[in-house]
Structure 1
């Protein structure tokens, strides 16, 4: 039974009922009315006892304040995506909504089912997301961005690009057979700020890797992302697919590394958030990587980002 109250807790049970029933609040203006000795938790406890299990064997899902007792009882508690803040605070794990397959997401998160991975860099044509075109004085680099895997990083890059932050900025560090790096308005590799006003955290994904053509964040260590980025240019690795897979990389990614190149040693050190999409862009990447450089790997002649266009 639900109650509907103008103010929280303004409804009280009469004495004739209060020795048999109690109110369990689940909303600011509503409560469940349940037997004084009964609740979701006691109901689950009876089932658990009947099955000769223990509370630590139980995983429960909830979203409202009337799930608090259940969360106290169970070994593992999971808050659904639209849960009350107090439920989220108490939960062992916060998952997505039911419509977003939140239960399956939680099972994956706890390692109870094998996580199904998708590699958008390999299947780039089917990926939804913004398309960035980095226009340089050497040609255009067209890059698909991955907000699903790296939402904060993509939001930062898109906002800076739309604000013209990168306009006129150079690629200040270029190393052939490795990568090209830019995004620092000072052109020194020491500057650059994020839209968040401070360095922000890494967003590593099991679905994104520093394969050839990957767009990644440059950093000065863990969780020091700002505005600088690099594009992986390496074309050759001295390892076979089998050797790379033995190192823990998924087989499809190991195959890409072995056949096309990349920088696997940067995985889980630098946030990947985009990928070059066409042969023309790879040709421009290789042309930029081949320019003459001087001390500190800076090009003798500036390689300039004229602007970055974003197609949402």
Structure 2
């Protein structure tokens, strides 16, 4: 082998080695980058609420983050009872533990003060009373600050629409999957129950005190559209235990 041929062969070997080394380095960099990125995303998920609170930025629920948020929020909940105060008396509701998203949503909205000064805005005789809405700017402002989202139905936990059951209506807007409107709820008045609702709506609790108040509200006169002739205000909603 001539010196010229040997030199050329040596250069080729060096270039091939350098190329392979660069490829391995690029592959290692790519794998490291992917791992860091995944770890960062996971960290962001678990620390999302803490970072938002630390930075003082308003936290707004959306279709993208609501389920994850309520999944984590439910782990922090130790209470399962909410009291609604009206001019007719108090209604005490016990929430079911095995309907976690709807329970967490109701506790969260109660603690945020959302239900305060909303109405029992729909009263259907011998059927239901429906609450959580109001035709005022305060309620609209609260909704915009909390966020726009829906909840998936959770209808297979064995709960029926017995008298006194609290359940969540589905949104009426482009909603083939019967996703629940998170800001409203209804209480069944029918005796013994309204079982035709089973499978279509999600029961997430029951009245344990104050069914006489529910009945009194259900007996109030209504206008067209089942809106009470005089507003029936939820003066305060509070988590009591």
TM-score, structure 1 as length reference: 0.46
Matches within 5 A, 1:230-249: 230-235=186-191
- Higher CA-based Rg: 2
Q: Deviations over 1:196-240 (max 9, x none)?
A: 6411211113321110000000113511432110000012xxxxx
**Aligned partner of residue 158 in structure 2, secondary structure:** coil
What stretches of structure 1 of length at least 5 have no aligned partner? 1-84, 86-127, 236-260
- Out of 186, 210, 229, which is 1:300 matched to? 229
The aligned length equals 155
**Aligned partner of residue 160 in structure 1, secondary structure:** helix
Q: 1:216 maps to which residue?
A: 167
CA distance in 1, matches of 2:112, 2:134: 13
Change (3 A) 1:262 1:138: same
- Out of 215, 218, 236, which is 1:286 matched to? 215
After TM superposition, where is structure 1 displaced by more than 4 Å over at least 4 residues in a row?
A: 191-196
Aligned-residue offset at 1:140: 0.4
- Out of 196, 201, 222, which is 1:265 matched to? 196
Q: Deviations over 1:132-185 (max 9, x none)?
A: 1111121100111112x2101111111111111111111111011100001124
Please, what is the CA RMSD of the aligned residues? 2.2
Q: Is the 8 A contact 2:94 2:208 kept in 1?
A: yes
Q: Is the 8 A contact 1:215 1:229 kept in 2?
A: yes
Q: 1:63 maps to which residue?
A: none
Structure that is richer in helix per residue: 2
